[in-house]
Amino acid sequence: MSDDKRSSDPTQRFREMLTEWERGFDALANRFMGTDEFSRTMNQFQNVQLGAQKAFAEAMAKQLAALNLPSREDVLRVGEAVQALETRLARLESRLGEIGESVGAQPKPRPGPPRTRRPPERQDPPR
Amino acid sequence: MSTPDPLVVQTAAQVQRLVDQAILRGMKGLEFVTAPAPAVGLTPKETLYQRGTLQLYHYLPQADEVYRVPVLLVMATTNRGYVFDLAPGQSMVEYLLQAGFDVYAIDWAPPRPEERHLDLATYTQDFIPTSIRKVREHCGEPDVSIVGYCMGGVLSLIYAATHPGGPLKNLACITTPVNWAEMGLTRIWSDPKHFDVDRLVDTLGIVPVDVVQASFEMLRPAQRTAGRIRVWEQIWNDEFVKSYRAFERWGNETLPLAGEYFRETTKELMWGNRLYTGELRVEGRLADLSNIRVPVMHAIAEHDHIVSFAASKPLLELVGSEDKAELVMKGGHVSLIAGPNAVRRMWPKLSSWLAERST
């Protein structure tokens, strides 16, 4: 009965067919991609790309060094140094907060709604 | 006068409906193609703290009276946090605010190249504790509840396991992987026999979006095409299109990952499965889940294609808490937090679970 009704609505039937196709395709693809062979090929391909990228970056760094210009790595090191300072400051701030707490200094909360809300009473099921 | 054949009437109605939809499809198709990206994350908020990739938001309360304990949402590192706040009516944040919670959220900006050295310790021993401190200072309460989604749940678990002394009050995890041996295709693709994580990280520093996005899309290769066909077929349905576009935008805005963090996740969690075995050490601290004693809730999706049911299921067995609850739902990885089932079941369950433990 329900099958007849389903097939009589072309929109519904189309949606069902699409879902079936999606599931079937995904299952098939996942079976293929779940093999050791696929994993090896995919990672080999990635390694080739990475090798090319590394070689290009090294060549570029040499060119920049010859021109007496900073390389990406040089700029990153400066960025990292700044980031390390930022982290140290954050840790100091955190430590100061902990010391403040240990001596009983309470942070002043910002004004807002009262924090007194209670959970709604549970409705016990009728016996 | 003879009564018309019901089959003829039914067929005529169907044809009429199909014609109407085809006309609307033509009209709305152009609108769909030319419309700007949908607005997301519209619930009013303020940025409380920002440091590199870390963003801490406070959502403005929407209730006259709130629960004492604030809630801190911790987003997965692979995606933007606005999945918690996709659109009005489709927003977990909005739901929690209206239920009377004071809501904060950790979101992640794309890590900058100089943040390539961020690791598990940075996220769990610096970013989360710093955010908790900021939340406590802001609201004036001594304790905080955490709700972590996916890898956000993993980071929250590691934080909780390495800080058993508090100030965590409650921990809710959503689709959080703990047994990484059950990560299916992701585990096969990152098999150490073939996958050279050191080479990837040492060469690139930051793991690019393409790699992260491909690893998600390859799990369901037909999803994007089927989604496009679905939206074409239902393009006359404004609500469906709005939701589709918001999800599509979110899916396209995948984040790159800090290299060290990716390396450590791969080696310690994916290959070593050390969160599951209780051997994970972060900054010298043992992240043994049995150290966690606070109330824990875990929401699991039965049909999750990213974090399999088997990968997330063992969480409650591993934590040391006495007060623990599990919610198994039929949805998938994303629909669990932002789909129709989330609105009907997950948010109300999460809200009532937190409410009973937030006074």
Confidence of residue A2 (pLDDT cuts 50, 70, 90): very low
Q: Which residues on adjacent β-strands are paired with residue B281?
A: B286
> Using CB atoms within 10 A of its CB, is residue A98 exposed (0-12), middle (13-18) or buried (19+)?
exposed
Confidence of residue B2 (pLDDT cuts 50, 70, 90): low
Of residues B53, B96, B40, B88, the one with CA closest to residue B72 = B96
Answer with the residue of higher pLDDT: B245 or B147: B147
Q: Is any Cβ of chain A less than 8 angstroms from the Cβ of B210?
A: no
Confidence of residue A123 (pLDDT cuts 50, 70, 90): low
Q: Residues with Cβ < 8 Å from B168, sequence gap 6 or more? A: B132, B143, B144, B145, B146, B159, B160, B294
Reduce the DSSP state of residue B329 to 3 states and report it. Answer: strand
Q: Residues with Cβ < 8 Å from B15, sequence gap 6 or more? A: none
pLDDT in tens, A64-90: 888 888 888 888 888 888 888 988 888
pLDDT in tens, A37-73: 888 998 888 888 888 888 888 888 888 888 888 888 8
Reduce the DSSP state of residue B297 to 3 states and report it. Answer: strand
ipTM of the complex: 0.75
Of residues B255, B257, B269, the one with CA closest to residue B205 = B257
pLDDT at A4 over 60: no
pLDDT in tens, B115-143: 999 999 999 999 999 999 999 999 999 99
Portion of chain A with pLDDT greater than 90, in percent: 15
Tell me how far apart the terminal alpha carbons of chain B are, to the nearest angstrom: 72
Q: Is any Cβ of chain A less than 8 angstroms from the Cβ of B12?
A: no
pLDDT in tens, B286-339: 999 999 999 999 999 988 889 999 999 999 999 999 999 999 988 888 888 888
Interface test with A, best of B97, B135, B189, B233 (most A CBs within 10 A): B189
Tokens of B220: 């369901």
* Binary contact (A43, B63; C-beta < 8 A): no
Chain B residues with CB under 8 Å of A12 CB are none
Chain A residues with CB under 8 Å of B49 CB are none
